[in-house]
């Protein structure tokens, strides 16, 4: 997310997950890449995205899965968010209802709104996390919301379709 202000010297960690939900234990930190270059970022946080190119390709031993995306402005019939709240191990949240088009806490067309999570929830520090549609394609990135531990309230995801090419400046679009 643009509002996170990630720096080019950030460390990107892969496979950071707990072997079980309870008790939750810290994952392995050894699968990492140091550094990257910002390629594009939202101009005014309208859809709140930031795109980085890593300094090197993750080695095959990291067993990386690359996500596809959809730049089509079509709501999902169900959604999944994979996130790392405040740098914690991987969490997964699921919504079995269609997303709705909205603004960020307002009317508009820049965001997808998840009204409530049926399984799991996001938390502070999850910003920038991908929202996957029912076809496992990224359709948005978490901007913010009211969801937190103890509630499954709404979240707002900047639309990938809006972020794709809404701005004519190529440094302000995902395309």
Q: Is 83 a catalytic residue?
A: no
Q: Is 115 a catalytic residue?
A: no
Query: With contact defined as beta carbons under 8 Å apart, do 62 and 15 qualify?
Result: yes
Q: Is 133 a catalytic residue?
A: no
Active site residue: 79, 127, 129, 163, which one?
A: 127
Provide the CA 38 distance to its chain's centre, in angstroms: 16
Separation of alpha carbons 175 and 51, rounded Å: 10
Nearest alpha carbon to residue 158 among 147, 136, 173: 173
Active site residue: 48, 95, 133, 155, which one?
A: 48
Torsion of CA 138, 144, 146, 149, to 10 degrees: 70
Provide the CA 53 distance to its chain's centre, in angstroms: 16
Active site residue: 3, 30, 56, 165, which one?
A: 3
Nearest alpha carbon to residue 130 among 120, 115, 141, 122: 141
- Could you list the active site residues? 3, 48, 127
């Amino acid at each position: 997310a643009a509002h996170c202000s990630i720096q080019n010297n950030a460390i990107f960690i892969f496979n950071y997950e707990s072997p079980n939900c309870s008790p939750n234990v810290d994952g392995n930190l050894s699968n990492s890449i140091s550094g990257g270059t910002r390629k594009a970022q939202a101009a005014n946080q309208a859809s709140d995205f930031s795109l980085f190119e890593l300094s090197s390709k993750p080695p095959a031993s990291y067993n990386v899965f690359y996500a596809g995306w959809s730049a089509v402005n079509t709501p999902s019939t169900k959604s999944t968010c994979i996130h790392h709240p405040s740098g914690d191990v991987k969490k997964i949240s699921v919504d079995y209802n269609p997303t709705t088009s909205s603004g960020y806490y307002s009317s508009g067309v820049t965001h997808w709104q998840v009204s409530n999570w049926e399984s799991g929830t996001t938390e502070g520090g999850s910003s920038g996390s991908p929202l996957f549609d029912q076809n496992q394609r990224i359709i948005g990135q978490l901007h913010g919301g009211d969801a937190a531990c103890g509630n499954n309230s709404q979240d707002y995801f900047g639309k990938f379709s809006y972020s794709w090419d809404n701005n004519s400046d190529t440094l302000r679009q995902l395309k």
